[in-house]
Structure 1
Amino acid sequence: MTAAVLLVSLSVVVVVVVAMTVTALAARRVNRVSVVDVTWGLALVGAAVACAVVGPAVSDADADAWRSWLLVALVGAWGLRLSRHLVKRMGGHGEDPRYLKLLGGELNDGRMGDAVRKVFIVQGVAVWLVSLPLQAAGVVDLRWPWLVFLGAAVWLVGMFFESVGDAQLATYRAQPRDQRPPVLDTGLWRYTRHPNYFGDACVWWGLWLAGALASGWLPALATLVAPVAMTYFLAYATGARLLEQTLMERPAYRAYASRTSMLVPWPPR
């Protein structure tokens, strides 16, 4: 079992290294670190495929391979939708302000080394960490099948919040600046300032339920860091808090933030 775990983990490391190396080269070419956001979803899809292929090949859990391929389908639907959405959103725009703030300027201003250390390596480690439930599903026998379906239901809730939230934001941004409200506070955005980030967190808690907890308490505890870390990234590290450092400069957004939950949907105050 230990050898199987190491081999599956190594296969994810290979996927991560290849994905982040290609992304770093692409980022240098277009002078935009934000291309790593597109890679994020695609790298996790690659990690899911690696777990589904390598896991049954190196362990005796091949009877449960259907679960790994179900996880591939769920991660694939999430990752491809997210990457497609980000590609469309990035068109015609410059560098993401979050990365400008993190690096202190644009990539080609001598900041490639900082980008490798602060963005590409960090994102690569994050992909490996978040994929731990997928790795567990590849090598550990399924114990409680009903949790696979519960996890899929939580994933579905997350996909609803993420996709609908993104669509509502796109509709808002498509309005002329002088005709749209100062902040988006309708639809899902009435109940949470970041429905897309909340949805993303739900997706990965659902995958943890299906991929780790469904295999037993030990795999669940060993991989609990994955959904916890994902939620932390979304809320504080590279997500909501970092984005709001700029948004809070606007009085209308500060008023919106004072009455609206940051992440978990809740009736406005």
Structure 2
Amino acid sequence: MGRNLKNAVIAFLTPLPSLLFYHYFLGYCSEHECDVSSPSNGSSHFPSLVWNWCYQHPILLANLLFFLNVDLLFWIIGLLQSCHWLIDLYWTVIPVLLMHYYATHPLAKYNPWRSRAVMLITWVWSMRLTHNYFRREKWQWGAREDWRFNNMRQQYGKSWWWVCFFPIYVAQQVFLIGICMPFYVIHSVDRPWNIWDFVAVVICVTGIIIAYYADTQLYNFVTRNEKLKQLGKPVVPNLDKGIWHYSRHPNYFGEQLWWWGLVIFGWNLECSWTAVGALINSMCLAYVTLLVERRMLEKDYRAEAYSVYQETTSVWVPWFKSSPKEGKEKDN
């Protein structure tokens, strides 16, 4: 209980430096009516120079706050705790923070209906993913870190303390800032709501629903297997029921629908470059898919069943089953 409470306090306190800094920045802009033109030279005007830079460069400010408050601070906490769990939890929170940051920045301009719709579905996405995180972790704060981090820890050994800064934190900044760029575009372009905004909402909501049901079915499957182990009974080697009957990774598919739905908002506002972040994230998830499937095949009790599952079931996009390859079975 003590560790759980301590980690909960850490999780709530860690974003405060950025939140307080941004609060003071907004207060300065409000007091000066956002008149933050460059002051005359002189050391006494240094605070004004800082606020002027923050006003003129919203994307650079977001990256600076991310680097200082997430990359450096989360990294230091992870080293002190020998567990890099915070970044996994904040994947569900940072997009919401970035969305509100872009919406409240003094330079923001946007269609209120589009902004409200995006805010609503983003909060729904975040709550779903946060609920799934805590449900999977048995409602514990920081009980463990991502299994991929453990694998890298063993790979790099004593060098892991500094190597981890780049794949766990700097890389996450690239991914998160990149895939959240539609939030910036939505709150920097003021154009009327149209049919493509509706299409984007439908795709985003569809992705959330698919990911929710996929994660719920996976959670129930894992829970049943844990009970079977406790009873000394054989476990079910592979989940191939429900939506998992049509896709090997429906949760990943739903998550990708969500991010690409946001890209449609950007494309609709003539900023198709926002697709770069979603594309990089999809490529990364494709690699993660390979790692997950290799891990599944390493388990002797499920290797055979999962091998057949791979042959007959679509990787991401839900689709009908195909027939197993008889030639491969004969060769074995």
- TM-score bracket, normalised by the shorter chain, equals 0.7 to 0.9
Amino acid at match of 2:79: R
Contact in 1 for aligned 2:54/2:61 (Cα 8 Å): no
Counterpart among 213, 216, 239 of residue 167 in structure 1: 216
Residues 161 and 5 of structure 1, relative CA distance in 2, 3 Å threshold: farther
| Kept after mapping to 2: 8 A contact 1:194/1:263 | yes
Question: Residue 201 and residue 88 in structure 1: after superposition, are their counterparts in 2 closer, same or farther (change >3 A)?
Answer: same
Aligned equivalent of 2:128: 81
| Structure 2: tracts of 5 or more residues without a match | 1-52, 323-332
In the alignment of these two chains, the number of paired residues is 256
Three-state SS of the structure 2 residue aligned to 1:252 is: helix
1:144–1:214: 8 Å Cα contact kept in structure 2?
no
CA contact (8 A) 1:133 1:207 kept: yes
Q: In the alignment, is residue 255 of structure 1 matched against residue 331 of structure 2?
A: no
SS at 2:291 equivalent:
helix
TM-score, normalised to structure 1, is 0.85
Query: Partner of 1:129 in structure 2?
Result: 178
Cα shift readout 1:118-166 (whole Å, capped 9, x = no counterpart): 1111011111111111111111232562211111100111011111011
For 2:149, the equivalent position in structure 1 comes to 99
For residues 134 and 186 of structure 2, the distance between their equivalents in structure 1, rounded to whole angstroms, comes to: 30
**Normalization by structure 2: what TM-score?**
0.70
Quote the RMSD (CA, aligned, Å): 2.6
Structure 1 gaps of 5+ residues are none
Does the Cα contact within 8 Å between 2:260 and 2:275 map onto a contact in 1? no
Match of 1:241 in 2: 290
Separation in 1, partners of 2:222, 2:86: 21
Matches for 1:26-65 after TM superposition, within 5 Å: 26-54=77-105, 57-59=106-108, 61-62=109-110, 64-65=111-112
- Give distance in 1, aligned partners of 2:234 and 2:321: 24
Max Rg structure: 2
C-alpha spacing 1:143/1:152, structure 2 compared with 1 (3 Å): same
Per the TM alignment, residue 87 of structure 1 is displaced from its structure 2 partner at its CA by 2.8
* Correspondences of 1:122-161 after superposition (within 5 Å): 122-142=171-191, 145-161=194-210
Partner residue of 1:223 out of 274, 278, 300: 274
Contact 1:172-1:180 within 8 A present in 2 as well:
no
Report the secondary structure of 2:57's partner residue. helix
Residue by residue over 1:185-227, the C-alpha shift from the partner in whole angstroms, topping out at 9 and shown as x without a partner, is: 00011111111110000001111112x02212xx12x212122
Does the aligned pair in 2 maintain the 1:51–1:138 contact within 8 Å? yes
Q: Which amino acid aligns with 1:150?
A: V
